[in-house]
Structure 1
Amino acid sequence: MHTETTTTGRRTFATATQAREHQINQWTEKQLQTHIMLLARRLKWRSYHTHDSRRSQPGFPDLVLVRPDRGVLWRELKTTRGRLTRDQQAWLNDLTQAGQNAAVWRPANLLDGTIQKELT
């Protein structure tokens, strides 16, 4: 069996897939957001993101995605190690208790297919 070795920075990976997974897990929220918004647009979702959250209600979710045949998704985006603030958790809890689809997406959710599944 042939094993391909790929080097990313100082780390060596057995496969290109492992190298890509490592890279995605290092993404910032902005990188994750950009990828998700491009995917959502391709899949015909309307999206909203507050560009300057300093003038917005604290904790309001990063993304609101709407598609008439699928409903509304409220998503807070976090890095692999990012933590929710109390206000962010309160928004997600209130939205969920109101019957809305509200959750957190992280790079791992892109890798495990969760984001793709929820958007298709």
Structure 2
Amino acid sequence: MTRGKPEDALQTRVIDLCRILGLHTAHFRPGLTQTGRWRTAVGGDGKGWPDLTIVGPGGVLFRELKSERGSRTVEQRKWAEWLTEAGADVAVWKPRDWDSGRIETELRALRRGRVVAGYDH
């Protein structure tokens, strides 16, 4: 696993697997401002957008990555609600989901053209 936050290590693993499977990913990361603060440049209602957008023959997955004890912010919960209402597959992935094989199962289904409905915890 990568050093740093558990979410960062999980993200690295997920993106690597997506590349192997031929899936496309988008992640928007923060940049350091002139005042020494980290900010992700977003417009409109972008604050809280899921960590990963993953595209394959089976559709699009929106996934928030959290540590085992991590929880979504208010903005992240709102985006999950809005995307779900629009029919999107939205869920939270944690390191245990990598260990259990859940993440690989969902990504392989996306690759085969079938999306496994996401679930939350």
Consecutive unaligned residues of structure 2, counting only runs of 5 or more, are 31-38, 109-121
Q: Deviations along 1:68-87, whole A, 9 cap, x unmatched?
A: x2100000000111111010
TM-score under structure 1 normalisation? Answer: 0.74
1:34-73 map, 5 Å? 34-52=12-30, 54-56=40-42, 57-67=46-56, 69-73=57-61
**Which structure's relative contact order is higher, taking Cα pairs within 8 Å and 6+ residues apart?**
2
Q: Deviations along 1:43-82, whole A, 9 cap, x unmatched?
A: 1100000022521221000000001x21000000001111
Give the alignment's Cα RMSD to 1 decimal: 1.9
Which residue in 2 is equivalent to 1:9? Answer: none
CA distance in 2, matches of 1:54, 1:115: 26
Instruction: Identify which of 78, 83, 87 aligns with 1:95.
Output: 83
- Where does structure 1 differ by over 2 angstroms across 4 or more consecutive aligned residues? none
Q: SS in structure 2 opposite 1:32?
A: helix
The aligned length equals 96
CA distance in 2, matches of 1:93, 1:51: 22
Which residue in 2 is equivalent to 1:78? Answer: 66
Q: Deviations along 1:71-112, whole A, 9 cap, x unmatched?
A: 000000001111110100110111111000011000011111
CA distance in 1, matches of 2:101, 2:84: 22
Consecutive unaligned residues of structure 1, counting only runs of 5 or more, are 1-22
Structure showing greater Rg: 1
TM-score under structure 2 normalisation? Answer: 0.74
